[in-house]
Structure 1
Amino acid sequence: MHTATGDPNLGARLRSLRLDQGLSLKAVAEQAAISVPYLSEVERGRKLPALDMLARIANALDTNVTKLLRGLEPYDN
């Protein structure tokens, strides 16, 4: 797992998608095989998930990594 500070724009996008679908943190975390606290940290921009983890989160949200990242500014931590 990547533990660097995450991208708040990506986190906000993930949270928005989750809420738009009426999904709980627990439901998405279980589907993505990650912990609820970790997903919460990603959504708040405090953690940056590795690409494979981001793909699992995207899948749980019925989207893909390309769509998640489209339009976001390059992130440089």
Structure 2
Amino acid sequence: MTVLLREAIGDRLRHARTNQRRTLRDISRAAKVSLGYLSEVERGQKEASSELLASICEALELPLGELLNNVAADISALESVDVATMPERQGAEERGEQPERREAAGSLEGGRLVDGVIGNDLADLRVSTQRMGPALRTTISAPKMVAA
């Protein structure tokens, strides 16, 4: 599964904002960026420039380096997880078998995997950090397949 950087960054920004119980409007005003554009950045639909990321991070009182470190840890965690592919999982379900799922192994710099079963979707990945507080449950989904 390919993880897009803009999606991982957007997810971390949304997580930081919601942990602070702040609204999109509050952050958009503080960062001097339109509310709609900030929403698209959080949903991973727009690729934010470095200047815009710095402005959003400043509004969130989140060091840009910490954001990038956490995003790198999220992506590294996904790359180290070995799981069955979607067709294999679907075939197993059709045969009435439990799809194979494996536990993630290893530690992450900048974050740690929460004990539990990890699947092949970012929605199954939970990462926590000391500064960010409660465990992050990402909302990024796998890229949509287009029929040829």
Shorter-chain TM-score category?
Answer: 0.7 to 0.9
> TM-score, normalized by length of structure 2?
0.45
1:68 corresponding residue in structure 2: 67
Matched positions, count? 70
Cα distance in 2 for partners of 1:6, 1:36 equals 21
Q: Which has the larger radius of gyration?
A: 2
Give the deviation of 1:48 after TM superposition. Answer: 1.0
Cα distance in 2 for partners of 1:63, 1:19 equals 13
> TM-score, normalized by length of structure 1?
0.83
Instruction: Give aligned-pair identity as a percent.
Output: 36
Deviations 1:43-72 (A, max 9, x none): 000001111110000001111211110042
Structure 2, unaligned stretches of length 5 or more?
Answer: 77-148
RMSD, aligned CA: 1.7
2:28 is the alignment partner of 1:13: no
- The structure in which a higher percent of residues are helix is 1
Cα distance in 2 for partners of 1:32, 1:6 equals 21
Query: Bigger relative contact order, structure 1 or 2, given CA contacts below 8 A and separation 6+?
Result: 1
